[in-house]
Structure 1
Amino acid sequence: MRKCKRVSLYAAAFLCAGFLSGCQAGSDNLGNQVTVQDDAGQMQEERILTFFAPVEGKSSGAVSYREMIDRYNGEHSSKLVFEGIATADGYDRYLEERLDAGAGDDVFIVNEDSVKPLYSKDHFYDLSALPAFEKLNANAKSEAVIGDIAYCIPMNMTAYALYVNLDVLEKYGLTPPKDLEDFNTCCETMKGQGQTPISLSRWHATAVPTIANGLYKLYNASDHPEQIEKLNTGELQIGDYMLEGFGMFREAVQKGWYGDGVNGKAVDALRAGEQDIPDFASGRTAFYFGPLEYIPWVEETNSKLDYQVQGVPVPGGTVLLTSVVSRLCVNPESEYLEDALDFVTYLSDDYYRESVKNGDVLLPVYENVEFELGNERMRPAYETYLSGVQIPAEDMQLKFGCWDTVRELCLSIADGMTDQEAADQYNRIQKEQLEKYKQ
């Protein structure tokens, strides 16, 4: 923690110099008032807030956040200072430690797997009264809520989908799969002629098709909120839903659709994007499960690739696993709560509209805001987003985990665990996590 603080404070000093021109006097702890000299030479009090966010990757938005903060600071009496580190360097851990210690961070971005732990510690201010929340479309609004509060304002939406190499399919006289039956036929045909059908990685290749084929019935049901509640009480067991998904994944492994000799250790060693994207882009595989924000990565790997991005095949059609790219949150302990809420409103309006205009928004977040698809390759996925079944990659209304748990169980299936054993194990995990949640 000491190293992070030192890095953060140096960064804050640098950013203060960049954002707060004319900052003449020293400041105390971040989030407190500082004395500054205005253009007329008069001393006045100025409020300094911190915005903590991840700074790495194609979807962090750090550069555009800085630009919007600079603009905000030029128009408002309160000032924002941007701080952040890479997720790989421990962003999630540092965020939780900073909030636990009451160290500031008036506004922050939370990653998906940190939402439930931070919610359990009351680290989210309820944003449901903000106009920005009311303007969200149904998909974004459902993912902005945990328990009885709106814990974030989504700044962008993504989805985990199926990338299809059209050149490879054409080689075998195949067409993009419209459902799981078509997908299985494609895989059987290609494997029978020596082609590995599906790219492999430890995250997307395991969790995406398994969750999709395990939970499509749940999220397509008109009474799925009631079923979610029964899952949270333990009256319904998650393994009973996921059995179908585990069976689909086990079959794909056993038939060699991910390649021959696949085992849990080998799968767990494959980081997302390192091998699966090159294999897909080069034609060594025909299918790649991945997020929409990886489209530029795919195209950088092979600029001449003929491909499309569509929903994940399940029985009877396709679905998307949706997720918020950037979750904008407010610390309920912020000393300048009104200023923090004002900044969120500013960012959710100006930043979002500018991002749509620049083609940076993957899937629409707000109702009645003009939206143009940034890449026509993903139109099939976009159409599923508009009218098909969406499954949250991590449903914040569930009081137990999904994404990480499913991935770990898929690794065990690759080592020989049966689909029924995986379902039974998930039921045990559900029970344990629900008991812990009650404590």
Structure 2
Amino acid sequence: MKKKKTALMMAAVMTVSLLAACGQKTSAPAAESAAQPDAAQTTEASKEASQEESQAPAESTGEVTELKVFGFKTGAEEGAIPTLIEQFNKENPDIHVVYEGISNAGGYQDVLTARLASGQGDDVFFANPNYLPQMQEAGYVEDLTDMPVVANYSGLVKDLLTINDSIPGLGMEIAVFGMFSNMDVLNEVGIEKAPENYKEFLEDCQILKDAGKTPIVAGAKDGTAMAIFSIAKSLDPVYQAPDKMEQIAKMNTGELMFGDVMRPGYEVVEELISKGYMDGSKALVYAPGQDDIAEFAKGEAGFMPGGSWFVAGLENAAPDMNYTLGGIPVQDEDSLILINAGVRVCINSASEKKEAARKFVEFFTSLDSMNAYVASQNSFNPRVDGKSTDNAVVEPAAERLAAARMVPWVDSAFNTAVVSPWADARTYAANIAAGDSVDNAVKDLNTQIENNLKLN
């Protein structure tokens, strides 16, 4: 593999530092001996006792509480989750955590909603941020504002996590959507570096197409890849504007129609497909983070939109590939990334095991646990005292982060009962991939928003 590991001191999301020195564990005190041997024997016995005490699990009271945890991290994307759960179970023999995972593409949200609505929800579950406001409104989640980790989040992260003046889910990472570039393929056709703006991107795609390569592999079974392009193009001007909050407020009331705002992004999707750089019909059957990775790993495609958590899958599928994750090159001047305080860990308000659930969530969001989790996801730490990934593959994305060239793809400032940017972008950009026109997509989205306003 040509990738090099370099320690990256990542800059803060939106100019706030996300990285600090990694915390250190303190060893357990040495056990005291009733006897009084000589000094050498005492020192050796103390060392052995300390090691045994630190390694041994706590004593069980005999009754074991089974805690069910449900999440959308599966396969390679589980990362450190199994190891952390095993560690927790060993340290807490009175609690046994069982994790079940279903991918988002596999219908996680529908299963989660059905379980919660029927009263059969798991004790702890991961929430997709774009659906969390609705789950909070339905009363499915506990307020976790008092959890210890909250004091260690940056101000920006707290803002992203706060919904209706409470924190219904704790963020485990700053997740990043960007664009993967296969440098082996690009170099093969004479391209020396990843594109930095839309003009370079189109030129590179044409070179790849002329060389018989696949310019872009996209996973859009749930609309993800199309939404990455469209949101990066359309919402960047909104977040760069000094009156961004006023614009978002106008979108919530329909004074500024969201379909019109999204038009430039939908036009990008249409152009990439019409020029033959991206196969819309194929993208619609490719599950993001699975089928697209498998196709990209074959080494015949130049680019793939995707998340930082895709890296684990790519490392397994193509360990010798030379690739990077950088910005999405859809703007005239530069590229940008999409960010989110992703993987919100929630406690089911209907759980009868809230004490055990809080104990697990406190462990799961501790400094050591989050450092391990973030490293396994190749993502960025939301804790100001945490350590982010040191994988050089994501260094170009980290540079975009440091330059504050980013847009959140989920923002609680939007009234999701009216406008849900990520969900709406996925739905209507996918319609364009299926052959719909930009005009129809914009019209249909605006009609949906008008109907939403009538119901709210």
Indicate the TM-score class for this superposition, using the shorter chain for normalisation.
Answer: 0.7 to 0.9
The residue number in structure 1 matching 2:384 is 367
Counterparts of 1:277 and 1:101, CA distance in 2: 35
AA matched with 2:181: V
Deviations 1:142-162 (A, max 9, x none): 432333321111122321110
The residue number in structure 2 matching 1:226 is 246
AA matched with 1:387: A
CA contact (8 A) 1:394 1:402 kept: yes
CA contact (8 A) 1:107 1:330 kept: yes
Counterparts of 1:97 and 1:351, CA distance in 2: 33
Structure 2 residue 263 is the aligned partner of structure 1 residue 270? no
SS at match of 1:176: coil
Structure 2 residue 175 is the aligned partner of structure 1 residue 158? yes
Consecutive unaligned residues of structure 2, counting only runs of 5 or more, are 1-56
Structure 2 residue 324 is the aligned partner of structure 1 residue 304? no
Deviations 1:74-126 (A, max 9, x none): 5xxx7454353534776544543443454574433223454243123022222
Structure 2 residue 412 is the aligned partner of structure 1 residue 392? no
> How many matched pairs?
390
AA matched with 2:135: L
AA matched with 2:213: Q
**Residues 35-434 of structure 1: pairs in structure 2 closer than 5 A:** 36=63, 48=65, 50-54=67-71, 56-60=74-78, 62-74=81-93, 79=95, 81-87=97-103, 91-103=108-120, 105-112=122-129, 114-174=131-191, 175-202=193-220, 203-259=223-279, 262-263=280-281, 266-273=282-289, 275-315=291-331, 316-335=333-352, 337=354, 340-355=357-372, 359-360=376-377, 362-369=379-386, 371-398=387-414, 399=416, 400-434=419-453
CA contact (8 A) 1:128 1:134 kept: no
CA contact (8 A) 2:195 2:204 kept: yes
Shift of the alpha carbon at 1:250?
Answer: 0.7
Counterparts of 2:146 and 2:289, CA distance in 1: 39
- Tell which deviates more after alignment, 178-187 or 109-118: 109-118
- Tell which deviates more after alignment, 355-364 or 192-201: 355-364
Counterparts of 1:341 and 1:57, CA distance in 2: 26
CA contact (8 A) 2:374 2:389 kept: no
Q: Against the structure 1 CA distance between its residues 432 and 57, is the aligned structure 2 distance closer, same or farther, given a 3 Å change threshold?
A: farther
SS at match of 2:203: helix
- Tell which deviates more after alignment, 296-305 or 354-363: 354-363
Deviations 1:381-420 (A, max 9, x none): 0121233233233334322323343233223323443323
CA contact (8 A) 1:144 1:152 kept: yes
AA matched with 2:308: L
CA contact (8 A) 2:340 2:410 kept: yes
Q: Against the structure 1 CA distance between its residues 81 and 268, is the aligned structure 2 distance closer, same or farther, given a 3 Å change threshold?
A: same
Shift of the alpha carbon at 1:309?
Answer: 0.9
CA contact (8 A) 1:49 1:340 kept: no
Q: Against the structure 1 CA distance between its residues 249 and 95, is the aligned structure 2 distance closer, same or farther, given a 3 Å change threshold?
A: closer
SS at match of 1:408: helix
Shift of the alpha carbon at 1:228?
Answer: 1.9
Consecutive unaligned residues of structure 1, counting only runs of 5 or more, are 1-18, 25-35, 37-45
For normalisation by structure 1, the TM-score amounts to 0.78
Counterparts of 2:76 and 2:363, CA distance in 1: 23
The residue number in structure 2 matching 1:4 is none
Counterparts of 2:186 and 2:124, CA distance in 1: 47
AA matched with 1:235: E
* Deviation >6 Å, runs of 4+: none
Shift of the alpha carbon at 1:256?
Answer: 0.5
SS at match of 2:214: coil
For normalisation by structure 2, the TM-score amounts to 0.75
SS at match of 1:276: helix
Shift of the alpha carbon at 1:217?
Answer: 1.0
AA matched with 1:253: I
Shift of the alpha carbon at 1:366?
Answer: 0.7
Deviations 1:124-149 (A, max 9, x none): 22223334123213553343233332
Counterparts of 2:284 and 2:116, CA distance in 1: 32
CA contact (8 A) 2:230 2:266 kept: yes
CA contact (8 A) 1:211 1:242 kept: yes
Which one has more relative contact order, counting CA pairs under 8 Å at least 6 apart?
2
SS at match of 1:313: coil
CA contact (8 A) 2:67 2:356 kept: no
Counterparts of 1:139 and 1:57, CA distance in 2: 31
The residue number in structure 1 matching 2:23 is none
Counterparts of 1:144 and 1:299, CA distance in 2: 31
Q: Against the structure 1 CA distance between its residues 91 and 212, is the aligned structure 2 distance closer, same or farther, given a 3 Å change threshold?
A: closer
Counterparts of 2:315 and 2:229, CA distance in 1: 23
Q: Against the structure 1 CA distance between its residues 193 and 115, is the aligned structure 2 distance closer, same or farther, given a 3 Å change threshold?
A: same
Q: Against the structure 1 CA distance between its residues 221 and 126, is the aligned structure 2 distance closer, same or farther, given a 3 Å change threshold?
A: farther
AA matched with 1:386: A
